[in-house]
Amino acid sequence: MSKGTAWKWIDDHKDELAKVSDEVWGFAEYGLLEEKSSRLIASLLDKQGFKVKLGVAGMPTAIVAEWGVGKPIIGLMGEYDALPGISNKAVPRQEPIVPGGFGHGCGHNIHGTTAMSAAIALRYALKEDQATIRFYGTPAEENFQGKIFMVAAGLFNGVDACLSHHPGSLNVASLASSTATIHAKFSYHGKTAHAAANPEQGRSALDAVELMNVGVNYLREHIIQQARIHYVIEAGGGQPNVVPDYARSWYYVRAPEMDQLEHIYNRVVKIAEGAALMTETTLSVEMDRGSYNKIPSKTLSEVVTANMRMVGAPTYSSEELAFASEIARSFPKQNKLDTLKKSKMPGWERYTDTDLPTDVLDPWDDGETSSGSTDVSHVSWNTPTMEFGTTCNVLGAPGHSWQFVATSGSSIGHKSLIFAAKTMAGAAIDLITNPELIIKAKEEHMRRMGKNVYVPDTQRKPPLELAKQSAEKLGPKNYP
């Protein structure tokens, strides 16, 4: 077994692998409806001798594909969902394939293909009894957080380590966490009455919603700086001369750590109960854990970083650099500096003149929390997990943008894919051949988890109907 075998397989098949990425890019399917994308990836794994299950955890587009037997079990995760409204050709200017259509503005066409490519390459580099390679095709990262359902279905039980790759703006195995979020709906029930003739008989559910909001806004002064609370009023009555007997607000509460979040959320609930008491209404609360904070893994980050350096980050042709420069002209120059400065990256100044970084960075962000959230965090509470980034989106270009669609479908995206696939395969081989690395990763995982416990959400079901309805409203498909 050698990394050379895996890397040679990827190099020998790089055109075919790029074609898979481009096909998924072209399908540009909305989360939970990635039928063509998931079928393509599942069928290729099937041809390579993987035991493939398509349609797991109640999602027709979720995949578990396995090769090999025994321990360790290495999970490789791949996403393939697209985003609405940013369809674009693989050209460095805004030119939709279908106006208002879907596009891979987060590079998930590459995300899924990287893990698939690494999984197949490992199959050629390993003996069947050396390890279990398990590819997870995880739908709907962007909209319905497919991994939550896969974790709740127990599909990640017993996995020793999990790797995934996200195309980004830098080559780095980041250690930043992501914020934990709770979503909650507060419904109040009161009594209707004529608001002018019999106000004394009415009990206003809207009053309760308003008083709750006032209470929460006072709470803001006494919570940690990094926390966020935001709300909307979803229902607030029919017309002013009827005392509303029903009103509902929808809250998001965010904080860097789950225990901080729970502390704040519990206070929000007390305020909500207080509002019910004040107004003689009754309260019901529907809560779900939107996202957990991501548990980083320094051990896996080091393995991945070493492999990125061994493989060597891609460099770019003059055409590719011209493509990137044209993209860079489509957004304010300042973006680039701001993004890097905000990320607290040491030496960010050196990037002012380059749009596609070609160096491999040491992660600088252990203990930092990125503002975004991802369902990868749910997996990270169950097994040591590392999602690393490779250059693809032009530095400073916004995420979820036509610019990212364009590079994800270009040769810049292909280079990101091949580099990442080799890195992922190399890292998996290191984990398989050095059992002490997995022990170290697990010890670190336990240390970082502390007393926190993951509560799988077994009640929630994948909202397949909602996905269909939303997709129709959001825009036309990119294919007939």
Question: What is the chain's Cα-based Rg?
Answer: 24
- Pairing label, strands 63-67, 132-137: antiparallel
Nearer to Zn ion (CB atom), residue 7 or residue 80: 80
Nearest to 138 by CA among 158, 161, 111: 111
The strand pair at 132-137 and 177-178 is best described as unpaired
Distance in Å, CB of 169 to Zn ion, minimum? 12
Q: With respect to Zn ion, which residue has the nearer C-beta, 106 or 471? A: 106
Q: Which is nearer to Zn ion, 108 or 415 (CB)?
A: 108
Binding mask 357-376 for Zn ion (x = CB under 5 A): --------------------
> Minimum distance between the CB of residue 374 and Zn ion, rounded to whole angstroms?
7
Q: How far is the CB of 166 from Zn ion (least distance, A)?
A: 6
CB of 304 to Zn ion, least distance (A): 18
Residue nearest to Zn ion (CB): 106
Interface with Zn ion (CB under 5 A), residue total 1
Residue 188: φ, ψ to 5°: -110, 140
Question: Footprint of Zn ion on residues 90-109 (CB under 5 A)?
Answer: 106
Distance between CA atoms of 245 and 258, rounded to whole angstroms? Answer: 34
Binding mask 171-210 for Zn ion (x = CB under 5 A): ----------------------------------------
Nearer to Zn ion, 138 or 369 (CB): 138
Pair 158, 73: CB distance under 8 Å: yes
Q: Which residue, 260 or 374, has its beta carbon nearer to Zn ion? A: 374
Nearer to Zn ion by C-beta: 24 or 106? 106
**Is residue 312 helix, strand or coil?**
coil
What gap in Å lies between CA 96 and CA 148, rounded to an integer?
Answer: 32
**Binding to Zn ion in span 250-289, by CB under 5 A:** none
User: What residues from 29 to 88 belong to the interface with Zn ion (CB under 5 A)?
Assistant: none
Strand, helix or coil at 398?
Answer: coil
Provide the minimum distance between the beta carbon of 8 and Zn ion in the complex, in angstroms, as a whole number.
29
| Phi, psi for residue 199 in degrees, rounded to 5 | -60, -30
| Least distance to Zn ion, CB of residue 370, Å | 12
Query: What is the CB neighbour count within 10 angstroms for residue 73?
Result: 21
Count of helix runs (H) and strand runs (E) in the chain: 15, 12
Q: How far is the CB of 168 from Zn ion (least distance, A)?
A: 9
Rounded-to-integer distance, Cα 448 and Cα 296, Å: 8
Other beta carbons within 10 Å of 223: 18
Q: Does position 392 bind Zn ion by CB under 5 A?
A: no
Least distance (Å) from Zn ion to the CB of residue 106? 3
Take residue 23 and report the two structure tokens written for it.
Answer: 């096909």
Residues in contact with Zn ion, shown as a per-residue x/- string from 106 to 135 under the rule CB under 5 A: x-----------------------------
The number of beta carbons lying within 10 Å of the beta carbon of residue 348 is 18
Q: Tokens 């300042």 correspond to what residue?
A: 334
With respect to Zn ion, which residue has the nearer C-beta, 173 or 206? 173
Q: Which is nearer to Zn ion, 38 or 132 (CB)?
A: 38
Which residues make up the interface to Zn ion (CB under 5 A)?
A: 106
